[in-house]
Amino acid sequence: MFFSYGYLIFSNTKIGETIKKYSPIYLAVTIILTALFLDSLFGFILKIPGLTRHDLRNDGALLPLNQSLWVAVQASRGLLAWCWIIGLLGLGHRFLNFNKKFLAYANEEVLPFYVLHHTVIYIIGYYVIQRSSDIGSKFIIIAIASFTMIMAIYEILIRRIKLLRFLFRMKLIKSM
């Protein structure tokens, strides 16, 4: 569904300008909704009977969930996702609207990064999740190791080998 929205957004320049104009409002709403959503899950500030799903003091045990409140939470998740996308698009239009070497490099790397990231994350994650450390450190290890591995594969193999550049639909560079 977001792909369809993306097509509609980028096919009309007026929508892009509107997003750029209202992105600070969307980001403010996003921060508020994110805080409320996290609080509805974990009950940091408000304990709403039937809505707070995880009890951090009981090893994350699930608490009973009120179905009508659950529907409201799910609707707010959809709104939250939309606000994140619009807010970040607006920031991108505002602050990444220039031509620098980094943007050209990152733009060229998007497709290889996207194609490789699932496989690399699965391989690294397979070994990391077997460790006996907490979930936060596992996440950090997987994120850093995956990013490093993907960048190494891109730099060492894909960017330098003409056949791989062609397969990833990158412009062929005459001299490297």
Q: What is the pTM of this model?
A: 0.58
Q: Which residue's structure tokens are 């104009």?
A: 21
Identify how many contiguous H helices and E strands the chain contains and give both numbers: 6, 2
Residue burial 15-50, b: 16+ Cβ < 10 Å; e: rest: eeeebbeebeebbebbeebeeeeebbeebeeeeeee
Q: Domain map of the chain by residue range?
A: 2-95, 101-167
Tens-place pLDDT, residues 3-61 = 787 787 778 888 878 888 888 888 888 988 888 777 766 666 666 655 555 555 555 54
What average pLDDT does the chain have?
Answer: 80
pLDDT band at 113 (very low <50, low <70, confident <90, very high): very high
